[in-house]
Chain A
Amino acid sequence: MTRKQKRLAVIGTAMAFLGLAAGLTFYALGQQTSYFYMPADILTQPAEAGDRIRLGGLVQDGSVRRGEGTFVRFAIEDQQSAVDVIYDGILPDLFREGQGVVTEGTLGSDGVFVADTVLAKHDENYMPREVADRLKEQGVWKDGSDEEGS
């Protein structure tokens, strides 16, 4: 095998792998990314029922209801609206009413969000960045208090 053929073989294999990787990447990015919504977004441009999304905002005061076993119902709100969320599982340590939260799941056709993940925050005065950014846009969030991430 000459140097040229050898080089072609290596380049060919490299291209094949890169092509495979690129194909997988594009496919996965199309399938497996989830968009971030606030309750206000659900109102204006509702996500397709069944699409996997992330929903973030503040846990509405007085909305947390514990049901049978590990079943929990609460509402996520921003300045404009609120969305009911149901979740079956263990809530993160820092889940509290009035605190920022990000949940992941699908929106049911009845407008209730079925969450399978409720994301933990890492310390008491840290706000999920997506939520903080959007609340700032809505003029609710005051700067300074999210300085101290953990």
Chain B
Amino acid sequence: MSVEIGHFALVLAFVLSLVQSVVPLSGARLGSERLMRVGEPVAVTGLALIATSFAALTLAYVQSDFSVLNAWENSHSAKPMLYKITGTWGNHEGSMLLWVLILALFGAMVAFFGRNLPPTLRANVLAVQGMIAAAFLLFILLTSNPFTRLHPAPMEGRDLNPLLQDVGLAIHPPLLYIGYVGFSISFSFAVAALIEGRIDAAWARWVRPWTLAAWAFLTGGIAVGSYWAYYELGWGGFWFWDPVENASFLPWLSGTALLHSAIVMEKRAALKIWTVLLAILTFSLSLLGTFLVRSGVLTSVHTFASDPTRGVFILAILMAFIGGALTLFAIRASRLAPGGLFHPISREGALVLNNLLLTTAAATVLVGTLYPLLIEALTGEKISVGPPFFNLTFIPLFLPLLAAVPFGPMLSWKRGDLPAAAQRLQFAFAGAAVSGLVSYFLIDRASVFAALGIGLGLWLILGAVTDLALKMGVGKVKPSVALRRLKGLPLSMFGTTLAHAGLGITTLGVVCVTILETERVLVMQPGESMEISGYSLEYEALQPFTGPNYTEERAHFAVSEVGGRPLGEIVSAKRFYTARNMPTTEAGIRTMGLSQLYVSLGDKTNDGGIVVRVWWKPLVTLIWLGTLFMMVGGAVSLFDRRLRVGAPSRQRATAAQGASS
């Protein structure tokens, strides 16, 4: 019964989303206050309906109701409860339902927090949100209905893909979707501004918090996905330049650009047209990501099924929204008045540079991701574009960006002084250079690239710290005064410092693990030992173990320092999921400080040994620690009083003109 209620709620939500796309929009056109006000209750009711629908599906999973086709295909009664719940979105239909749930949540939040928005802007934003919701709800109802019944109901389900039976599934998709879908708000604001043909600094103030929130979640989603792939797949890699990873990285790149251009627009009323375009592009890339992942044109862990009608449907949605928004942009963009002047060497100039580099880097990733699809469509030839392509194109464009980051916050608005900025950064530069040199001479395997990379990471971290120290007046005023100043600094300043330092920390982790990691593949017999990077691993025994829905063979390794004290144990396993008849590798990981020892198992050999692959991954955890810094930076900025969502606009307008920090 609840399944039918869920289905019906979804149909109702679709009808309401049609109302939401038409009525507030016409209200804004006709200047009818009453019609415009329809948007809010409809958005909130829509959320309630989709939440009901989602709860109904979750219930089917929790109760192992295999009369529901979707639950039968992806669940099993012996599956642990956590994976029963997360399994709701561990499949195509359920994940699309999660997608619209988050979309509806954002729509309702605009209705709730946006009380201070000008009524026409709010009505238009809600209408555009309604259109997106309508398109995706129709998509679910027509091609991906999660509530299809199966008769007669089978006794047992087919179980969830073992690779997805992990806490990662509980965190990664929701975070990623909040990021993807969050950019729909920036998109809706941009389209609403184009419909009205009016845009100002206040607009940027409303858009920025939404973008910031979406960006922080997307950062987290990508990071969790990366760590999940790192430990679950057993290949020891943190980023594969897999098309699906790229699909999430593209909106991140353009979202980062949007975040920065919105600052220029808010503070200096410049870059208006560009910001609107970026808002459209960022959500378009999110949609493209959804298309690439959901249509089955790519093969990866993420493509749950390949049904051509779905691909065509999403492609149609994609073209309608991107095409529509860009057409509107082409017609209306010229109406948006150009903004303030600035010198190329200035804060604005630095942010423009940031935008140029981010968008060109995104363009190369886009080309590399779509090129194989294009070639196959045109010539039928199957080619693959792998990591070497991205290393050769993306990295040369991204390095200058990283090198330039510390300069940005040192330059003043309108007209900056580059030599003065360089002078202020001299300590950061010296620190980075010294650490690069030291690592070059101290680490025996360090190349010039490693030294430069380590220097670059520290340059970013020290640059971020320098910025904060200068704002506090360290060295110029008494420490007590500096501390008082620190307390008085706006939260967004800490956000910048944290995010930029996080970027440096991630860079440092990537450089260290890429250049300095050691790997050994060998056959080990029980009782045998091996050494790697100063650690010794003794293979003790292989022991069988039975889990709830799998069996596994666990290899136990005793870890110690070479010739020294024991450090404990690493357990690495080969697991076999009975329902799907599928083996998986469960890597054994031991974190030592910031570095990790990673053990993954291969096949057993005929003479009783086992193939073992061991990595020493120096400072690998910095990669994800850095992204955590970026996320926290985003969150801290979000709580800045000046940025609070939907705060009154009159004060804002004057404040925006006065403020130039």
Contacts and interface: CB of A to CB of B under 8 A. Distances in A.
Contact of A70 (B574, B582, B600, B611): B611
A32 B389 contact: yes
Given A1-B343, A24-B397, A90 B521 contact: yes
Contacts of B480: none
Interface residues of B, number: 61
Contacts of B521: 70, 88-90
A150 B382 contact: no
Given A36-B384, A149-B299, A122 B397 contact: no
B551 interface: no
Nearest to B307: A147
B523 A70 contact: yes
Interface stretch (B48-56, B360-368, B590-598, B649-657): B360-368
B300 interface: yes
Interface in A1-42: 1, 3, 6, 9-10, 13-14, 17-18, 20-21, 24-25, 27-29, 31-36
Contacts of A133: 382
Contacts of B296: 149
A61 interface: no
A93 to B, nearest CB: 4
Contacts of A147: 305-307
A25 B367 contact: yes
A21 B364 contact: yes
Given A10-B352, A93-B583, A17 B357 contact: yes
B301 interface: yes
A136 interface: no
A9 to B, nearest CB: 5
Contacts of B372: 33
A6 B352 CA distance: 12
Nearest to A24: B393
B581 interface: yes
A93 B393 contact: no
Contact of A123 (B386, B580, B603): B580
B356 A1 contact: no
Interface in B368-423: 368, 371-372, 381-386, 388-389, 392-393, 396-397
Given A32-B389, A33-B384, A124 B581 contact: yes
Contacts of B234: 93
Given A28-B392, A66-B605, A90-B600, A21 B360 contact: yes
Most buried by B among A13, A123, A133: A123
Given A27-B392, A32-B392, A35-B383, A14 B356 contact: yes
B306 A1 contact: no
A119 to B, nearest CB: 10
B300 A122 contact: yes
A123 B393 contact: no
Contacts of B606: 66
Interface in B327-364: 341-344, 352-353, 356-357, 360-361, 363-364
A105 interface: no
Interface in A35-77: 35-36, 54, 66, 69-70
Most buried by B among A18, A20, A25, A88: A25
A94 interface: yes
Contacts of B360: 17-18, 20-21
Interface size class of A (residues with CB under 8 A): 35 or more
Given A32-B389, A150-B161, A20 B397 contact: yes
B250 to A, nearest CB: 14
A123 B582 contact: yes
B353 to A, nearest CB: 7
Contact of A122 (B301, B382, B602): B301
B281 to A, nearest CB: 15
A54 B584 CA distance: 24
Interface string B591-627: 0000000001011011000010100000000000000
B161 A24 contact: no
B386 A34 contact: yes
Contact of A29 (B161, B385, B583, B585): B385
A1 B164 CA distance: 57
B303 interface: yes
Contacts of A54: 384
Given A1-B343, A129-B299, A21 B363 contact: yes
A14 to B, nearest CB: 5
Most buried by A among B383, B384, B396: B384
A142 to B, nearest CB: 16
B383 A120 contact: no
A124 B601 CA distance: 19
Given A17-B356, A124-B581, A150 B363 contact: no
Contacts of A126: 299
A82 interface: no
B602 A29 contact: no
A123 B393 CA distance: 32
Interface in A107-142: 120, 122-124, 126, 128-130, 133
A130 B382 contact: yes
B353 A123 contact: no
Nearest to A149: B303
B383 A34 contact: yes
B304 interface: yes
Most buried by B among A3, A27, A124, A146: A124
Contacts of B574: 93
29 contacts: A6-B342, A10-B352, A17-B360, A18-B363, A20-B396, A21-B363, A21-B364, A21-B393, A24-B364, A25-B393, A28-B368, A28-B388, A32-B385, A35-B381, A36-B382, A70-B602, A88-B521, A89-B613, A90-B600, A94-B582, A120-B235, A122-B299, A123-B580, A147-B305, A148-B305, A149-B299, A150-B161, A150-B303, A150-B304
Given A93-B234, A149-B299, A150-B304, 9 more contacts: A21-B397, A24-B392, A27-B392, A28-B393, A33-B384, A36-B382, A93-B582, A124-B580, A150-B303
Interface of B: 161-164, 233-235, 296, 299-301, 303-307, 341-344, 352-353, 356-357, 360-361, 363-364, 367-368, 371-372, 381-386, 388-389, 392-393, 396-397, 521-523, 574, 580-585, 600, 602-603, 605-606, 611, 613
